[in-house]
Structure 1
Amino acid sequence: MTAAAASQYQALILGGGDPGDPFAVSHGVAVKGLVPVAGQPMGLHVLRAVRASGQVGRVAYIGPTTPEMDALIDLQLPDRGSLLDNLTAGLEALGDRSGRALVLTADIPMLTAQQLNDVLAQAAEQPGAGLLYPVVPREACERTFPGVKRTFVRVKDGTFTGGNLFLFDPALVGQFLPRLRAVLDARKAPLKLAALIGPGVLLRLLTGQLTVRGLEEAVSRLLGVQARAIITPHAAVGTDVDKPSDLALAEAYLSQAQ
């Protein structure tokens, strides 16, 4: 791996969260990213996958850490309380606006370096996209993790769950983050949301008639950047650990993988 390839991406890992999260509290840790899985914090598993990918230069981590995690982090930042505030703070700290930024949550401990590299390879095939978001087919999730409970969305091309990572062009942050904030603010107000994305698009989405391509086009118009979905067979990309049943699944999976 050349030095240029190794710094192709800068990564921001989101490991903050509500200090009163019952799941974290039940395990005696400050936040979910520190809950032990197979004897090690979830966030450490993610950090190792990112570093082992060989494609990431600098890594910023938001939230509490352990000394073993610190050895894999270039910049450790406090939690700002919201996704958008954390994104802004993380990008400002990383500084470099060239290439693409990789953002991951700290609660996907089953993610491997090879799986991450597969997603990055698919992203590289779409150089013009300013925002890329992986989705996982339902059948891939249920085949890899039988009995897993996830939120799925049905579109005309199939049924998918969203991933827990995404990629974007940092140079476009000022362009789409304000629009994304408006979407998040409207997510619990159906009339506002319909006005933003268009009632026709919303109706087709709710009835399963919207295609992946149609959804990409709607998101692109809404955010003002070219957005593309990455369909990946890697269920670990879309399987976070935030409740006891998820933890039992992750423990069993990782014990078999070792």
Structure 2
Amino acid sequence: MSSQPESFVGVILAGQRPGRVDALAEAAGVVNKNLVPIQGAPLVRHVVDALAATPGLSRLRIVVEPGTAPLIDAVLPHSRLQIDYVPAANNLADSVYAAVEGVGDLPILVTTGDNVLLTPGAVLDVLAVLQGGADVSLAMASQASVMAAHPEGQRRFYRFSDDAYSNCNLYAFAGPAATSAAESFRSGGQFAKKPMRMIMALGPINLALMLMGRLSLRGALKRLGRRFRLKVEPVVLADGAHAIDVDNARTFAVAEELLARRAMADAA
């Protein structure tokens, strides 16, 4: 599915919630989880390397607390990359909105600093959907593919009428539609933590159908896109490892194991 993209801007969300002490960061003796080392490099370095290896990346924006930006900058490559640091907002939605301001017509690829199993192929697949006319694309992986990658990798799945899926924390926005999409997400707030905002943003009927498993993944996103006047398309990645990010000690161990396997396969 992947194809050679036009230039795009990469955005990595690496901020921490104010006042929160991350257990992994505390155990590793660092101030931000994205600096925790795994397989010889900080979490965020693995993500940056995947984006840097993707054809078409023109610049990179990293959303993080201003005090942490120099620490992240010190562990990143600076050969050809233009890296901008954007101050993290108080919530994820506002951070995304701040990161996409002023990018012009370029497509935007958004992921998280703990998405260490990200690959250039997955990035290209998500961007390719934009070339097909979508305003927003997001990566998902089926439950079967995630379990095949590692049985302990993910425990949260969203059940639709066609299958159960997990989110891969990988999104793309097409040019000018990016800002309006981010604004929609911004007004919707952090859905998982503020259910009433989710109901207001999605509409009670759409939300009920999704919760009852009456809609397919594509059908649910079509309704969501209609609500925001955007064409939203899913990309179901074949490798379920893309749905495994580093949230806690369990997923850290899983990601470390899978990264080691990849390194061995590359060396063979």
Counterpart position of 2:124 = 117
Q: Assess if the C-alpha contact under 8 Å between 2:126 and 2:138 holds in 1.
A: no
Q: Tell me, in whole angstroms, the C-alpha distance in 1 between the residues paired with 2:197 and 2:120.
A: 40
CA positional deviation for 1:119: 3.3
Q: Is the 8 A contact 1:140 1:233 kept in 2?
A: yes
Larger deviation: 193-202 or 20-29? 193-202
User: What is the Cα deviation at residue 76 of structure 1?
Assistant: 2.2
Distance 1:73 1:13, change over 3 A: farther
2:150 aligned to 145, 166, 181, which one? 145
Q: Using a 3 Å threshold, how does the CA distance of structure 1 residues 213 and 149 change in structure 2: closer, same or farther?
A: closer
Q: Is the 8 A contact 1:11 1:60 kept in 2?
A: yes
Question: How many Å apart are 1:143 and its aligned residue?
Answer: 0.2
Give the alignment of 1:1-258 within 5 angstroms.
8-18=7-17, 20-63=21-64, 64=68, 65-69=72-76, 71=78, 72-92=81-101, 95-121=102-128, 123-124=129-130, 126=132, 128-184=133-189, 187-188=192-193, 190=195, 193-258=198-263
Aligned-pair identity in percent equals 26
In structure 1, the partner of 2:266 is none
| TM-score normalized with structure 1 length | 0.86
* 1:28 counterpart letter in structure 2: G
**Unmatched runs of 5 consecutive residues or more in structure 2:** 264-268
Task: Call closer, same or farther: CA 1:247–1:191 in 2, change over 3 Å.
Answer: closer
Aligned residues: 250
Residues 151-176 of structure 1 deviation map (CA, whole Å, 9 limit, x = unaligned): 10111110001121100024124433
Letter in 2 for 1:78: P
Report the alpha carbon displacement of residue 195 of structure 1 after superposing the two structures with TM.
4.7
Distance 1:187 1:112 in 2: 27
Residues 7 and 58 in structure 1, CA contact (< 8 A), matched pair in contact too: no
Shift in Å, 1:189: 5.5
Q: SS at 1:49's partner residue?
A: helix
- Counterpart residue identity of residue 239, structure 2: H
For the aligned residues, what is the CA RMSD?
A: 2.3
Offset at residue 120 of structure 1 (A):
3.0
What one-letter code is carried by the residue in structure 2 that aligns with 1:102? L
Give the TM-score taking structure 2 as reference length.
0.83
Give the SS at the match of 1:135.
strand
Could you report, residue by residue, the CA deviation over 1:105-141 in whole angstroms, capped at 9, with x for unpaired residues?
01011222233333333x2552x21111111101010
Are the counterparts in 1 of residues 108 and 175 from structure 2 also a CA contact under 8 Å? yes
AA of the residue aligned to 2:37: P
Q: How far apart, in 2, do the equivalents of 1:98 and 1:125 lie?
A: 13
